[in-house]
């Protein structure tokens, strides 16, 4: 354990931050004291003081033997104290201020960043405050990540501009709610994990534009960003069909506002949604291409310090341009760390050490980022690559280059998928069955599409060359979409029956950990044919076996609880409301159902709930009497 901590010095600080975060997140006791108008937290000061005292105390000669243990405890207490102070406001935002105060006035919001919303789009809104019906101003300074729904905006109405203030009636700022039907997607939780905490609906007659722009030095920066995004969007949409242009823009920038919903569904079926969300894969492709170009097509070997800084500046600019998602920032911190260490100070960095360090920096800078699904999936996938992938390549490396390339691709996909599988099942309850084929055959084509798109943007000023390149890109996109359609026609495209509870999710994560430990044991064995080696591998498989047994047992217990439980909830359908009551295997739907078509639509809405709870019979009650 001490060897692991020495090679990953950020592990103990992360553990301290995690304990403090969970303490505040679960709303345990963390009192504050007001001194001269400033808030102080006694528990934070006590924990940090104990950590500093232990760190100083360990330098006494008679305690040198226990120095590593004392150092770990001191670092843990120091970061626990930091977490008690930094993460004091991480409690779940169950209701917005205007909901908790029953205010029906106006909210003053300012749009700080948008990704050119057309059909749909995401952005960042800062809520400055709100004014109630009596004219009283309430201060509220917090970030409201939102989705702009522009479906009801009339033609010719100007869209909300970034870096401007708007008075918006508070009833139009609607938070994502818990699902009406149990086991339906929990969009409040999903949107929170994506970094989206609210929903803003803009209408033509309710936006009041403030006459003065914000006094902020970031305004010209955001203006340049929007100008460049508009240029990229115009170039792509002027040379490609709307469907293909929306897909290309989503791949390059991460904005899915123009992406066709059917294409997005096909990507989900093929297990390739990560292609549409700008992530570490995009950063590695673009940074790798830039490194190849800036080093004279790879002939000069190591880049100079000036080239390295130019390369990193280009990478951070792309991260800013694409929306600065958690996975992109993680990739850029890791790339900056590894490349600066390798090319500037000539020191190789261990990938798990870089991973822990980048997580530490991101968490300190943004306390709520740890709850974003992109953050969680990105770090789990890279953790799988840093552990399982490296071990599999050591064990199964092949001398033939093309065979080794296939093994490497399969190993990358399987290791990243194995570590992210429990979280995906826990959040969405479904998983693409043919993800391995999709990543093996289509991922290289998407890499080619990204490179070709960038070349098209660079050479757009050359008439005939750009037309040829865009035509080739259009043909390539058509071919990829055709292959995606074939994947969608395969039998059982998605698993939809594995809705994990918290207990089975944790159990499955433990199983993944023991699988990784099994390959660690194999790597340490020199002669795998010896009797002792067989005994060691068998002993390493025992925790995996019992972990799977425990997972299946816990998951069956969760399913039994769902099916044997009795519950009652209300569901709305258009302007009608229905009371749903479940007693064992019988489901009773109480409400005024006038048409058979309405019954079919209600059944369709309840389909997932019926499957998960094992409902055998459905009874309809209308106006106090049984329906036919």
* Residue 509: predicted pLDDT: 92
Verify that 511 and 614 share a domain, yes or no: no
Q: How confident is the model at residue 298 (pLDDT cuts 50, 70, 90)?
A: low
Q: Pick the range with the lowest mean pLDDT from 210-224, 461-475, 506-520.
A: 210-224
Tens of pLDDT, residue by residue over 76-112, are 999 999 999 888 877 655 666 777 667 777 888 777 6
Tens of pLDDT, residue by residue over 563-605, are 887 888 888 776 678 888 888 788 888 887 777 787 888 888 8
Q: What sections of 385-462 are H helices per DSSP?
A: 390-396, 401-428, 435-441, 443-458
Verify that 108 and 125 share a domain, yes or no: yes
How far apart are the C-alpha atoms of 82 and 45, rounded to whole Å? 8
Q: Kindly state the percentage of the chain with pLDDT values over 70.
A: 80
Domain-located, residue 276 = yes
How far apart are the C-alpha atoms of 356 and 363, rounded to whole Å? 10
How far apart are the C-alpha atoms of 374 and 381, rounded to whole Å? 10
Q: CA angle, 58 as apex, 56 and 63 as ends, to 5°?
A: 155
Work out the average pLDDT over 279-290: 81
Domain-located, residue 208 = yes
Query: Quick one: DSSP state of residue 494?
Result: E
Verify that 295 and 149 share a domain, yes or no: no
Question: Among 191, 216, 241, where does a domain finish?
Answer: 216
Q: Is the model more confident about 324 or about 479? A: 479
Q: Residue 519: give the domain boundaries.
A: 502-559
Verify that 490 and 528 share a domain, yes or no: no
Rg for the chain (alpha carbons), in Å?
Answer: 27
Q: Pick the range with the lowest mean pLDDT from 16-25, 59-68, 100-109, 407-416.
A: 59-68
Q: Is the model more confident about 24 or about 60? A: 24
Q: State the chain's mean pLDDT as an integer.
A: 79
The CATH code of the domain that includes 142 is: 2.40.50
| Domain count of the fold of the chain | 5
Q: 528 with 522: CB under 8 angstroms? A: yes
Verify that 442 and 508 share a domain, yes or no: no
Question: Among 513, 529, 559, where does a domain finish?
Answer: 559
Q: CA angle, 337 as apex, 334 and 340 as ends, to 5°?
A: 140
Domain-located, residue 92 = no
Work out the average pLDDT over 505-518: 91
Domain-located, residue 91 = no
- Secondary structure (3-state) at 565: coil
- Judge whether residue 404 has pLDDT over 70: yes
Tens of pLDDT, residue by residue over 334-348, are 888 888 888 777 777
CB atoms within 10 A of CB 290: 19
* Residue 558: predicted pLDDT: 85
* Residue 526: predicted pLDDT: 66
- Judge whether residue 114 has pLDDT over 60: no
Dihedral of the alpha carbons of 366, 367, 371, 376, in degrees to the nearest 10: 60
Verify that 194 and 255 share a domain, yes or no: no
Query: Quick one: DSSP state of residue 123?
Result: E
How far apart are the C-alpha atoms of 529 and 445, rounded to whole Å? 42
Verify that 542 and 578 share a domain, yes or no: no
Tens of pLDDT, residue by residue over 131-176, are 877 778 777 777 776 666 554 444 434 556 666 777 777 777 777 6
Question: Among 51, 86, 121, where does a domain finish?
Answer: 86
Verify that 114 and 167 share a domain, yes or no: yes
Tens of pLDDT, residue by residue over 438-463, are 777 777 888 888 889 989 998 888 88
Q: Kindly state the percentage of the chain with pLDDT values over 90.
A: 11
Tens of pLDDT, residue by residue over 180-198, are 777 776 666 666 666 666 6
Verify that 172 and 67 share a domain, yes or no: no
Residue 465 makes CB contacts below 8 A (sequence gap 6+) with: 459
Domain-located, residue 29 = yes
Tens of pLDDT, residue by residue over 210-221, are 555 545 666 777
Verify that 62 and 162 share a domain, yes or no: no
Q: Is 0.85 surpassed by the pTM of this model?
A: no
Verify that 288 and 371 share a domain, yes or no: yes
Verify that 71 and 152 share a domain, yes or no: no
């Amino acid at each position: 354990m001490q060897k692991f901590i020495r090679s990953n010095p950020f592990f103990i600080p992360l553990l301290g931050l995690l304990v403090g975060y969970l303490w505040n997140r679960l709303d345990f006791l963390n009192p504050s004291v007001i001194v001269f108008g400033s808030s102080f937290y006694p528990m934070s000061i006590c924990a940090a003081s104990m950590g500093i005292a232990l760190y100083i105390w360990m330098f006494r000669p008679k305690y040198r033997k226990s120095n590593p243990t004392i150092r770990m405890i001191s670092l843990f207490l120091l970061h626990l104290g930091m977490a008690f102070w930094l993460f004091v406001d991480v409690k779940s935002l169950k209701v917005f201020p205007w909901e908790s105060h029953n205010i029906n006035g106006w909210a003053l919001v300012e749009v700080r960043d948008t990704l050119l919303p057309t059909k749909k789009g995401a952005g960042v809104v800062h809520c400055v405050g709100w004014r109630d019906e009596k004219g009283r101003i309430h201060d509220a300074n917090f970030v409201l990540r939102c989705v702009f729904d522009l479906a009801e905006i009339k033609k010719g109405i100007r869209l909300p501009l970034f870096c401007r203030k708007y008075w918006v009636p508070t009833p139009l700022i609607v938070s994502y709610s818990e699902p009406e039907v149990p086991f339906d997607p929990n969009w409040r939780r999903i949107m929170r994990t994506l970094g989206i905490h609210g929903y803003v609906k803009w209408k033509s007659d309710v936006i009041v534009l403030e006459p003065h722009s914000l006094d902020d030095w970031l305004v010209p920066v955001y203006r340049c960003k929007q100008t460049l995004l508009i240029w990229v969007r115009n170039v792509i949409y002027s040379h490609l069909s709307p469907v293909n242009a929306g897909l290309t823009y989503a791949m390059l920038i991460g904005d899915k506002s123009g992406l066709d919903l059917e294409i997005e569904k096909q990507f989900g079926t093929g297990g390739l949604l990560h292609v549409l969300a700008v992530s570490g894969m995009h950063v590695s492709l673009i940074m790798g291409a830039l490194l190849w170009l800036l080093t004279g097509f790879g002939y000069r070997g190591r880049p100079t310090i000036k080239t390295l800084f130019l390369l990193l500046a280009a990478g951070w600019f792309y991260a800013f341009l694409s929306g600065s998602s958690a996975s992109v920032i993680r990739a850029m911190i890791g790339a900056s760390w590894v490349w600066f260490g390798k090319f500037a100070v000539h020191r190789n960095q261990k990938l798990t050490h870089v991973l822990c360090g980048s997580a530490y920096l991101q968490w300190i800078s943004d306390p709520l980022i740890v709850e974003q699904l992109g953050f969680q999936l990105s770090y789990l996938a890279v953790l799988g690559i840093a552990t399982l992938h490296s071990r599999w390549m050591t064990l199964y490396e092949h001398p033939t280059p093309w065979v080794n390339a296939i093994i490497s691709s399969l190993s990358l996909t399987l290791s990243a998928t194995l570590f992210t599988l429990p979280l995906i099942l826990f959040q969405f309850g479904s998983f693409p069955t043919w993800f391995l084929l999709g990543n093996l055959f289509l991922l290289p084509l998407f890499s080619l599409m990204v490179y070709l798109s960038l070349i098209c943007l660079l050479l757009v000023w050359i008439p005939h060359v750009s037309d040829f390149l865009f035509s080739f890109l259009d043909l390539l996109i058509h071919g990829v979409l055709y292959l995606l359609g074939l994947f969608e026609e395969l039998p059982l495209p998605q698993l939809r029956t594995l809705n994990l509870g918290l207990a089975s999710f944790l159990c499955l994560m433990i199983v993944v950990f023991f699988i990784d430990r099994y390959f660690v044991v194999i790597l340490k064995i020199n002669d795998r044919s010896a009797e002792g080696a067989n005994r060691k591998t068998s002993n390493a498989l025992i925790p995996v076996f019992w972990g799977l047994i425990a997972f299946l047992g816990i998951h069956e217990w969760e399913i039994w609880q769902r099916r044997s439980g009795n519950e009652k909830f209300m569901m709305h359908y258009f302007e009608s409301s229905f009371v749903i009551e479940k007693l064992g295997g019988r489901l009773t739907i109480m409400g005024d159902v006038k048409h058979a078509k309405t019954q079919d639509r209600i059944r369709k809405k309840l389909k997932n709930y019926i499957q998960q709870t094992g409902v055998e019979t459905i009874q309809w009650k209308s106006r106090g009497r049984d329906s036919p």
